[in-house]
Amino acid sequence: MKRRHTVGLIIIVAFIVYCFTAFQTSLTPYVSFAQAKASTGTVQVRGVLANEKITVTENGKTVMFLLRDEAGEEVPVIYQGAKPDGLEQATSIVAVGKYQNGRFTAEKLLIKCPSKYQGSVKPS
């Protein structure tokens, strides 16, 4: 095989390995709070509001609430950012972040609200 072909093949293999590694590190699995406590990386925890109390700081840039995961464990969630619309009515909340110092620090919040079209189908 010519030297040019060998170098080209090495570059292609290196690119494939790089893409695979980058893809693996970008994945954030859904876990429970128990698994999030043991994890060192970023994870996603799905749950619901444990109570109606949502605290927003005076400057409006930090939101704190209690989230109950699917296993029933409740953990305080701290989110640096504006309070998402519909947080109080959410049927499901996904917090993306890390468990640190007895609380879950969320980088992102994904809110699923009840559909405004649910139950509005009229019989024919």
Fold of 33-112: OB fold (Dihydrolipoamide Acetyltransferase, E2P) (2.40.50)
Percent of the chain clearing pLDDT 90 (strictly above): 27
At 29, is the pLDDT very low, low, confident or very high (cuts 50, 70, 90)? confident
Q: How far apart are the first and last CA of the chain?
A: 73
What pLDDT is recorded for position 89? Answer: 85
Average pLDDT, the chain: 84
Tell me: the pLDDT tens digits for 75-93? Answer: 999 999 888 888 888 889 9
Separation between Cα atoms, residue 111 and residue 88, nearest integer Å: 10
Tell me: the pLDDT tens digits for 16-26? Answer: 888 877 776 66
Residue 3 corresponds to which amino acid?
A: R
Closest to 83 in 3D by CA, of 102, 103, 101, 58 = 58
